[in-house]
Structure 1
């Protein structure tokens, strides 16, 4: 084929258009939880609200679909504050600290389930707690933000902790830790950033927590029966306005459906 000046100009123009077209296609944003196919979503009215709603979602393709029934929950006695999880750090709003009475907001991995019974009806990893199991909330402890067995680490290592995992035995029959799971806030165990964050049972409807998320026992049983390790579920907690601001960037449901 004879190459002419006009042909060269045409080929150059086509190449420019192809490159321009490629340059205009932005890559799809990704998050550390893009592989999640189950989502536990807790929403509250604002940073200081002590009650809210828990909903469950499943993702097929790119769309989240709500499943099951929404359930009322309670959070920290002082509301919520940004925690340390999978999401980028946020500076606009309160920041979670040890003892502040706020539940950590953000997106988090779900840790091991725990309870008083030997076994539960769930495929999720579960550990039965004993009288010697404690979660360490002492800032200066090298075991900070970990559940440990005093028989293994020594009784001195759990001194000062306010979090026995068998509250029925150490706290006058308290049922709150009868069934629950770890919310993996502060996974690097940064001293003072908040410890021992769980989803657990509430003692009474509407009663706030020290920083956890609490719910009725039937709701917890249903939640644990639903969680599937193969679907890599995550837990999210956000005030309504923060969910509205972040849902696109964080690949979360736009807004909770009302039933």
Structure 2
């Protein structure tokens, strides 16, 4: 199988907007002051106050989570779990405008996460999805590239087999995947099993096609939404995912 990689552009500088207000001073108007030959001029009105545009933040994220988002990032998918032990979530896509800040562009979408919910200390086989902010640099799948700008690795190794926790077939779950940069080497195929934090910290966390149930640790989206996500992601905008239960993300 082939895998395309490329060097991401340098971080984009945020553009500022200088708002100014001014008023044209009217011609002085002569007004009698009761003395011979006397006159006074009326002063010009004060210029209007200009209120700067407020840069919006992503509403689901608290200051600690927002602090993990690099300044260069202009795309984010936010996956919010219903509770720390829930395997149901919602996903919303956001883009950062240089003036208006973060704006929602699609969603909310239904999503699934790990069977036992979320954790700040993910371990191999714990059946929990890792909480955090992670880059999205690499994609792949069993089916042809639907039009993503990310490097895309296609091949039969993305075939999913067996059944899920409720007996549902897993076939097709890996037709389209985006690797979540948790305990992996960015810039490689999602099938690369390099684990910088060690094998005990798990890995292989993907965003993939929903198979109708909870996952081992990944995030799953409906097939149509996976295609939309892949077509939307742009490495020039340094995309990432912020994922976790609502309380964790709000910190």
Pick the TM interval, shorter chain: 0.5 to 0.7
Q: 1:32 to 1:218 in 2, by over 3 A?
A: closer
Backbone CA RMSD of aligned residues: 2.1
Could you tell me how far apart the structure 1 residues matched to 2:215 and 2:130 are?
A: 12
Tell me the distance in 2 between the aligned counterparts of 1:173 and 1:81. Answer: 24
Extract unaligned runs of 5+ from structure 2: 1-65, 164-168, 185-195
Considering only CA atoms, is the larger Rg found in Structure 1 or Structure 2?
2
Structure 1 residue 39: Cα displacement: 0.3
Q: Which residue of 2 aligns with 1:178?
A: 175
Question: Quick check: 1:166 aligned with 2:155?
Answer: no
Structure with the bigger percentage of helix: 1
Q: How is 1:174-253 mapped onto 2 (pairs within 5 angstroms)?
A: 174-187=171-184, 188-204=196-212, 207-245=213-251
The question of whether the paired residues in 2 share the 8 Å contact of 1:56 and 1:67 is answered with yes
* Structure 2 length-normalised TM: 0.63
Mapped partners of 2:67, 2:90: distance in 1: 27
Instruction: Please state whether the residue corresponding to 1:111 is helix, strand or coil.
Output: coil
1:75 alignment partner, one of 113, 119, 127 = 113
**Unaligned stretches of 5+ in structure 1?**
1-28, 83-94, 134-164, 246-259
TM-score (norm 1): 0.61
Give 2:97's aligned residue: 60
Query: CA separation in 2, counterparts of 1:38 and 1:192?
Result: 30
- Contact 1:189/1:195 (CA < 8 Å) preserved in 2? no
Q: Is 1:98 aligned with 2:113?
A: no
- Mapped partners of 1:175, 1:31: distance in 2: 33
Query: Structure 2: how far apart are the matches of 1:67 and 1:119?
Result: 22
- Aligned-partner Cα distance in 2 for 1:119–1:59: 26
- Partners in 2 of 1:110 and 1:38 — Cα distance? 10
Q: Say if 1:236 and 1:31 are closer, same or farther in 2 by CA, change over 3 A.
A: closer
Conserved? CA contact 1:44–1:53, under 8 Å? yes
For residue 244 of structure 1, report the CA deviation from its aligned partner: 2.1
Q: CA deviation at 1:31?
A: 4.2
Distance in 1 (CA, whole Å) between partners of 2:87 and 2:142 is: 26
Correspondence for 1:119 among 145, 149, 153 = 145
Contact 1:202 1:214 in 2 (8 A): yes
Moved more, 188-197 or 222-231: 188-197
8 Å contact kept, 1:110–1:235: yes
For residue 228 of structure 2, give the secondary structure of its aligned residue in structure 1.
helix
Counting strand residues as a fraction of each chain, which structure ranks higher?
Answer: 1
Instruction: Please give the alpha-carbon distance, in whole angstroms, between the structure 2 residues aligned to 1:78 and 1:243.
Output: 17
